[in-house]
A and B are shown apart, each in its own frame.
Chain A
């Protein structure tokens, strides 16, 4: 018998993820996402009694205390407010904080807004430098290490045991960016060839530019409601079945297996326990594919496959497969405005299980269970959310 947390996703929306050149800024995108989510929810603005904001870094927004700014823009006064930050996991940590607030009974309707101007505010070189300090600034950061280099080292230890070929890595990129072609909000819907990927500039071996997710601008928002206050019009809304988060040892070299995302396994176990399901119950997933290899490492850590490369090549993770992964395009295809990423993944999963996602990507039979998976650092902070169809007992 499965269970849920008594919290429904009554509103869910994402803005386009891309590089904005239209004069708008992160406050505009957050406003747009929130307004769309609120409209879908049918909840009145005055009934929102908490705001949870996810934004990875004030370096990106050029705004300290962004939650208060967004609260003012959104017209929220005298509500509970919290800004959540956990690197790439920030968005899902905000979802989790909101879920717990609703479960506690002190909040009836919570807004979750994730946003970051990861593409347009700072140069790529500056962003690369800042991300180098998102691990341990005193050890990894001081070497001039890039995020890509650290991921590359972790992936090399993983591929040694899982026998991942360059062709397998390319298959991830090709699938995710192909999915993104059907997502009108995606940053990088593309048709790539293996040769094109293999000939793209080397960033940190084995990762080439096309193996890496882009930095994007954008926002995502959710309206979460306690089930006892869920609007009648949204009785079919997706429900949050389980959440989990965990942290690993900070230093890659201090981990027993540097290629294993063990914090993700812990987070997934917690979420599955709450949902009273096993990982193989998951029918669709949005996975944190910051790099092509990270998707494979995540699939393994989440327990979604016993034969990752076999399942990859048999189409199990493709649209129409037994467990489609990153139908949105994932970070590789849809893009990555970091604070928005986890919120957007949860929104995507909620719409998929409700059966109202982008028509070209929506499975004919809405999945019963979906998984949204993020992490920060080199899977140092992991956070996952399991959603279920509102009709599932």
Chain B
């Protein structure tokens, strides 16, 4: 076998998803609302199931409830329902206690626009 190291440095543009990506960096859940049927998708869907590509950007509260979660070698992930969204979202859970079932997006310091849910203090069940 011949070892061969390749490094790739991309310059990525978010394109039509720019409001979503910029929102994540600020900790905002910027969703897409269909101009025709008002269906709210987060992450945003460009063309709604109703067939309409026209839509508006709306900022949700950024809070979400966990529906299903998985933990393992790559970290903790969950299928969550963001308040105000008609779709569910897959997120990374950051330092999330097993007993906690809700969380919030927070401003990010990393350059990549990752959907990361953080536990909210005081939200633990009593």
Using a CB–CB distance below 8 Å, which chain A residues touch chain B? 21, 23, 62, 120, 128, 136, 138-140, 142-146, 148-150, 152-153, 156-157, 201-207, 249, 251-254, 258
**What are the nearest 5 A-B pairs in CB distance?**
A253-B88, A204-B72, A152-B70, A143-B92, A139-B43
Q: Could you say which residues of chain B place their CB within 8 Å of the CB of A205?
A: 70-72
How far in angstroms is the closest Cβ of chain B from A335?
A: 19
Smallest Cβ-Cβ distance to A258: which chain B residue: B79
Can you identify 11 A-B contacts, CB atoms within 8 angstroms? A138-B14, A138-B21, A139-B43, A143-B90, A143-B114, A149-B70, A153-B69, A157-B68, A202-B73, A203-B74, A258-B88
On whether the beta carbons of B116 and A143 are closer than 8 Å, the reply is yes
1/0 per residue B91-126: CB within 8 Å of A? 110000000000000000000111110000000000
Contact partner, A254, options B6, B21, B88, B112, Cβ 8 Å: B88
On whether the beta carbons of A254 and B45 are closer than 8 Å, the reply is yes
Cα separation A249 to B41 with both chains bound (whole Å)? 12
Cα separation A205 to B73 with both chains bound (whole Å)? 9
On whether the beta carbons of A149 and B79 are closer than 8 Å, the reply is no
Indicate if B89 sits at the interface (CB-CB under 8 A): yes
Smallest Cβ-Cβ distance to B80: which chain A residue: A253
Known: A148-B74, A205-B70, A253-B79. 18 other contacts (CB 8 A): A23-B1, A142-B114, A143-B91, A146-B74, A149-B72, A149-B77, A153-B79, A202-B71, A203-B72, A203-B73, A205-B72, A207-B72, A249-B45, A249-B49, A251-B89, A253-B90, A254-B88, A258-B88
Q: Could you say which residues of chain B place their CB within 8 Å of the CB of A146?
A: 72-74
Cα separation A36 to B74 with both chains bound (whole Å)? 41
Cα separation A184 to B88 with both chains bound (whole Å)? 44
Q: Could you say which residues of chain B place their CB within 8 Å of the CB of A153?
A: 68-70, 77-79, 90
On whether the beta carbons of A254 and B41 are closer than 8 Å, the reply is yes
Cα separation A153 to B78 with both chains bound (whole Å)? 7
Cα separation A140 to B80 with both chains bound (whole Å)? 13
On whether the beta carbons of A202 and B1 are closer than 8 Å, the reply is no
On whether the beta carbons of A251 and B90 are closer than 8 Å, the reply is yes
**Given A157-B68, A202-B72, A204-B74: A145 touches B79 (CB 8 Å cut-off):** no
Smallest Cβ-Cβ distance to A160: which chain B residue: B68
Smallest Cβ-Cβ distance to A156: which chain B residue: B68
Cα separation A205 to B69 with both chains bound (whole Å)? 8
On whether the beta carbons of A142 and B68 are closer than 8 Å, the reply is no
Indicate if B17 sits at the interface (CB-CB under 8 A): yes
Cα separation A61 to B77 with both chains bound (whole Å)? 30
1/0 per residue B47-71: CB within 8 Å of A? 0010000000000000000011111
1/0 per residue B10-31: CB within 8 Å of A? 0000100100010000000000
On whether the beta carbons of A138 and B89 are closer than 8 Å, the reply is no
Cα separation A23 to B1 with both chains bound (whole Å)? 7
Smallest Cβ-Cβ distance to B39: which chain A residue: A254
Q: Could you say which residues of chain A place their CB within 8 Å of the CB of B4?
A: 62
* Candidate in B4, B41, B43, B78 with the most chain A CB atoms within 10 angstroms: B43
Cα separation A253 to B68 with both chains bound (whole Å)? 11
Q: Could you say which residues of chain A place their CB within 8 Å of the CB of B113?
A: 138, 142
Cα separation A254 to B42 with both chains bound (whole Å)? 8
* Candidate in A148, A202, A253 with the most chain B CB atoms within 10 angstroms: A253
Q: Could you say which residues of chain A place their CB within 8 Å of the CB of B43?
A: 136, 138-139, 251, 253
Q: Could you say which residues of chain B place their CB within 8 Å of the CB of A148?
A: 72, 74
Q: Could you say which residues of chain A place their CB within 8 Å of the CB of B69?
A: 153
Q: Could you say which residues of chain A place their CB within 8 Å of the CB of B89?
A: 139, 251, 253
Cα separation A148 to B67 with both chains bound (whole Å)? 18
Cα separation A140 to B73 with both chains bound (whole Å)? 17
On whether the beta carbons of A144 and B90 are closer than 8 Å, the reply is no
